[in-house]
């Protein structure tokens, strides 16, 4: 043996730690060289799918070199240390104010917002504000606050199920049906009562990419108020769409321009074009964000209101959001999102023409679309088999059941993001054509592989 007690001279992969297998479920007794630990973690991670071919996720998988540099420089920033990092705190403030303006808040001086770790936290805060507002009004009227309910489509993102479970709110799901794939106000009066804290409208349903018509939902709530006196507000879950609609569908009425919209949330890490770890929520005015939910931290010797579930969380993502706002501006965001929509429309139209598929959506809202296998096309394969075949080529294109009430319908979906170029999209189309050819040539049904992982939206 060489005179090398710590194994520093050993070639890579022949070092202690690498040569003898690392301990996977227990803290190792002894340290190892940073190079060795790096190599082990790095190598484990190469077993992940390639994020650029991950067409399942809505979350950013590409940022430019300057953003990467900023990310590395700011990795140590804790967002909650507002007194110690006042510049980052100021930039956070600018970011949500930029969004408030983009979403047509009536009075820029009378609004409140915050960054969050993602849309999930932002939705929780939006929901909590609705709940607290309802509780305050009920208490003031001497009425019971025992049974709050929240109305939403049965095709909501899982965060809303969590919100109801965690905060003791009864979820009232309006079922999706072939005629009403999204919440559109249809039969809403059957769900609203005096215990309704609000209605969730989703801008960019995760299953299909379709928009819920915020304006139509609001009009229905106007009618309900006229006949019952109940004044029910809307939270717009714009996880994806709130960063697409302002640029690509500027005439759509979905934001604070619709009077009933109380609050809007979005994922900075989806079409805000930042790597995972940032979301945003903004309220119409300070009055609809109950003061009791706001806490105060010290900031430059003064006092800074905070409203968040997390305490510590990365500040780097907030700086990256501001970087994107400066780098891209309205024109840049429009160009990028429109290009993604164009790629989505190209893909959906070619997939629609292939023969075996019916499109459920085309990607003309957010650049997300889904399709089903045509009834009677084949008994030999399913969209799950096509997903498996594409995965063999590196493409991650998930198949999954539609939401409750339509869960016997199997969908397959593509989320187009910046980085899926026309060129790569054409490669994907070639792959789909080739695999459909393979599957259609089967003489007997493929076995049902079973054991599918549940797919969370």
Ligand X SMILES: *Cc1c(COP(=O)(O)O)cnc(C)c1O
Q: Which stretch binds ligand X (CB under 6 A): 35-43, 99-107, 118-126, 319-327?
A: 118-126
Q: Site for ligand X (CB under 6 A): which residue of 184, 237, 385, 435? A: 237
Q: Is the Cβ–Cβ distance between 285 and 272 less than 8 Å?
A: no
Q: How far is the CB of 275 from ligand X (least distance, A)?
A: 12
Q: Which stretch binds ligand X (CB under 6 A): 47-55, 198-206, 246-254, 333-341?
A: 198-206
Q: Which stretch binds ligand X (CB under 6 A): 82-90, 114-122, 252-260, 354-362?
A: 114-122
Question: Site mask, ligand X, residues 135-164, x = CB under 6 A?
Answer: ----------------------x-x-----
Q: Which is nearer to ligand X, 243 or 386 (CB)?
A: 243
Q: For residues 380 and 32, give the distance between their C-alpha atoms in angstroms, rounded to a whole number.
A: 52
Q: How far is the CB of 125 from ligand X (least distance, A)?
A: 12
Q: Which is nearer to ligand X, 123 or 192 (CB)?
A: 123
Residue 57 structure tokens: 């996720």
How many residues at the interface with ligand X, by CB under 6 A? 15
Q: How many residues does the chain have?
A: 457
Is residue 361 at the binding interface for ligand X, with CB under 6 A as the rule? no
Nearest to 161 by CA among 210, 127, 132: 127
If DSSP codes are grouped into helix, strand and coil, which group holds residue 47?
coil
- Residues 37-76 touching ligand X, rule: CB under 6 A, are 58
Q: Which stretch binds ligand X (CB under 6 A): 200-208, 287-295, 297-305, 433-441?
A: 200-208
Q: Which residues in 186-207 are b (16+ Cβ under 10 Å) and which e?
A: eebeebbeebbbbbbbbbbbbb
Q: Which is nearer to ligand X, 258 or 436 (CB)?
A: 258
Q: Site for ligand X (CB under 6 A): which residue of 113, 118, 213, 246? A: 118
Q: Which is nearer to ligand X, 157 or 340 (CB)?
A: 157
Is residue 239 at the binding interface for ligand X, with CB under 6 A as the rule? yes
Q: Site for ligand X (CB under 6 A): which residue of 202, 224, 236, 399? A: 202
Q: How far is the CB of 158 from ligand X (least distance, A)?
A: 8
With the CA atoms of 389, 393, 395 and 400 taken in that order, what torsion angle do they form, in degrees rounded to the nearest 10?
10
Is residue 363 at the binding interface for ligand X, with CB under 6 A as the rule? no
Q: Which stretch binds ligand X (CB under 6 A): 126-134, 161-169, 234-242, 415-423?
A: 234-242
Q: How far is the CB of 379 from ligand X (least distance, A)?
A: 34
Q: Which is nearer to ligand X, 197 or 432 (CB)?
A: 197
Q: For residues 141 and 138, give the distance between their C-alpha atoms in angstroms, rounded to a whole number.
A: 5
Is residue 206 at the binding interface for ligand X, with CB under 6 A as the rule? yes
Q: Is the Cβ–Cβ distance between 282 and 103 less than 8 Å?
A: yes
Q: How far is the CB of 49 from ligand X (least distance, A)?
A: 18
Ramachandran bin of 209, using left for φ above 0, alpha for ψ from -120 to 50, beta for the remaining angles: left
Nearest to 204 by CA among 421, 396, 422, 415: 415
Q: Which stretch binds ligand X (CB under 6 A): 233-241, 288-296, 367-375, 392-400?
A: 233-241
Q: Is the Cβ–Cβ distance between 80 and 306 less than 8 Å?
A: yes
Is residue 120 at the binding interface for ligand X, with CB under 6 A as the rule? yes
Q: How far is the CB of 10 from ligand X (least distance, A)?
A: 42
Q: Which is nearer to ligand X, 159 or 351 (CB)?
A: 159
Q: Which is nearer to ligand X, 15 or 270 (CB)?
A: 270
- Residues 278-297 touching ligand X, rule: CB under 6 A, are 279
Q: How far is the CB of 59 from ligand X (least distance, A)?
A: 7
List interacting residues with ligand X (CB under 6 A): 58, 118-120, 123, 157, 159, 202, 204, 206, 237, 239-240, 267, 279
């Amino acid at each position: 043996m060489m005179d090398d007690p710590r194994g520093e001279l050993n070639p890579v992969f022949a070092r202690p730690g690498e040569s003898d297998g690392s301990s996977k479920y227990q803290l190792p007794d002894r340290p190892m060289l940073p190079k060795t630990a790096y190599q082990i973690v790095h190598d484990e991670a190469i077993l992940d799918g390639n994020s650029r071919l991950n067409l399942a996720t809505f979350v950013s998988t590409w940022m430019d070199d300057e953003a990467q540099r900023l990310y590395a420089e700011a990795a140590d920033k804790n967002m909650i240390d507002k007194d110690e990092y006042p510049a980052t705190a100021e930039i956070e403030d600018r970011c949500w104010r930029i969004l408030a303006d983009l979403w047509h808040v009536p009075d820029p001086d009378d609004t409140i917002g915050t960054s969050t770790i993602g849309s999930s936290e932002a939705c929780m805060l939006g929901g909590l504000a609705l709940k607290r507002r309802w509780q305050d009004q009920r208490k003031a009227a001497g009425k019971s606050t025992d049974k709050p309910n929240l109305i939403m489509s049965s095709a909501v993102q899982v965060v809303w199920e969590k919100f109801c479970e965690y905060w003791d709110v009864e979820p009232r799901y309006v079922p999706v049906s072939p005629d009403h794939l999204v919440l559109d106000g249809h039969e809403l009066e059957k769900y609203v009562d005096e215990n309704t804290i609000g209605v969730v409208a989703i801008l960019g349903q995760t299953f299909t990419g379709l928009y819920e018509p915020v304006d139509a939902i609001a009009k229905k709530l106007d009618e309900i108020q006229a006949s019952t006196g109940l004044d029910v507000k809307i939270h717009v879950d714009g996880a994806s769409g709130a960063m697409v609609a302002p640029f690509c569908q500027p005439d759509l009425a979905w934001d604070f321009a619709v009077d009933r919209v109380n609050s809007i949330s979005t994922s900075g890490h989806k079409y805000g074009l930042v790597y995972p770890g940032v979301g945003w929520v903004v309220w119409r005015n300070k009055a609809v964000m109950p003061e009791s939910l706001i806490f105060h931290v010290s900031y430059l010797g003064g006092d800074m209101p905070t409203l968040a579930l997390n305490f510590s969380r990365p500040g780097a993502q907030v700086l990256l959001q501001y970087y994107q706002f400066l780098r891209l501006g309205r024109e840049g965001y429009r160009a990028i999102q429109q290009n993604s929509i164009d790629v989505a429309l190209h893909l959906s139209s070619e997939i629609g023409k292939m023969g075996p598929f019916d499109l459920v959506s085309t990607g003309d809202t957010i650049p997300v679309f889904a399709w089903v296998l045509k009834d009677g096309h084949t008994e030999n394969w399913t969209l799950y088999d096509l997903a498996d075949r594409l995965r063999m080529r590196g493409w991650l294109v998930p198949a999954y059941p539609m939401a409750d009430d339509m869960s016997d319908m199997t969908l397959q979906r593509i989320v187009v993001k910046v980085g899926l170029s026309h060129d790569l999209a054409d490669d994907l189309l070639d792959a789909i054509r080739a695999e459909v050819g393979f599957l259609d040539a089967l003489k007997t049904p493929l076995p049902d592989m079973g054991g599918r992982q549940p797919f969370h939206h």
